Structure formats: C-alpha cells, structure tokens
Amino acid sequence: MKYKVKKDDLELNLAPMIDVVFLLLIFFIVASTLNIREVKENIQLPKTEVTEEKNSNEVKIYITKEANIYLGKDKVELEDLALKLEGKLKDSSQKNISIFADQQVAFQEVIRVMDAAKKADVDNLSFALEEHKE
C-alpha cells in the first residue's frame, strides 16, 4: 500500500518583506541627511589677520570646492538662489548674507553667487575668513 504525502500549498507572505524594505528605506533616508557641520569641515577658508564680530540674523551661503551651493542647510541651484534669498530675507530689516567659499573654488562661482545676491537686493555681503594664527 502506497501512501501519498499531501504537500501543503506554499505561499510567500510579502507583508513582512515590505515592512523590512520600508524600515531600511527610512533608515537610509535618516542616515544620509546632510549635516551642515560636514559641509563646513569640507570648506577650507582663506586666511586673514582681520577679524569681525558676527551678525546672528545673517543668511549663510556655502560654496564647496565642487561648486555646490548651500543656502543654510539646503542645497540650491545657482538659478534658484536669488529667488530663495528673497524669500529668506523678505521679513528681515537688514538684508545681510555671509559667503563661506572654499579657497579652491573658482572665483567665477563666487561672482555668480554675488550676482544672485545683488538680484535679491542684499544690503550687506561679507565673506567668512579663517583667522590667521602664527
């Protein structure tokens, strides 16, 4: 007498796999957010012997040596910079910005950022420099 083994229908439950994929996605999104300190560490400022006091309500623009432009923590394209600057400065009585440009960035990139600031009617434009220590 032969016994026939009845196989259960095998089903693949995708719900736990989808949960794991979403958790991994959330992990990588959170882990890859840009830290402004990382941008500052990658920018080597030119040295100077002149120091100034800092204005707390100024808008900061960072230019990396790869010519990436950051308005505060947000990466922006050069074409959008003037419009975004106007939005950030519209409620401000004094329109002050500071540019943190890497010493290896092409000067033309700095000029383009200055032109965008002029289009946004910036009152005071300053450059961040590293204090020269001997």
Per-residue model confidence (pLDDT) at position 19: 93
Average pLDDT score over the chain? 79
Q: State the average pLDDT over residues 6-12.
A: 69
Instruction: Give the separation between CA 69 and CA 38, rounded to whole angstroms.
Output: 14
Per-residue model confidence (pLDDT) at position 29: 81
CB crowding 26-47: b at 16 or more within 10 Å, else e:
eeeeeeeeeeeeebeeebeeee
Q: State the average pLDDT over residues 45-52.
A: 66
Task: Identify the sign of the CA torsion 45, 51, 55, 58.
Answer: negative
- Check whether 127 has a pLDDT greater than 50: yes
Q: State the average pLDDT over residues 34-61.
A: 68
pLDDT band at residue 20 under the 50/70/90 scheme: very high
User: pLDDT of 83-113, one tens digit each?
Assistant: 888 888 877 777 888 888 888 888 888 889 8
Kindly state the tokens that stand for 5.
Answer: 């083994």
CB crowding 74-107: b at 16 or more within 10 Å, else e:
eebeeeebbebbeeebeeeeebbbbbbbbeebee
Identity at 80, one-letter amino acid code: D
Cβ-contact 72, 59 below 8 angstroms: yes
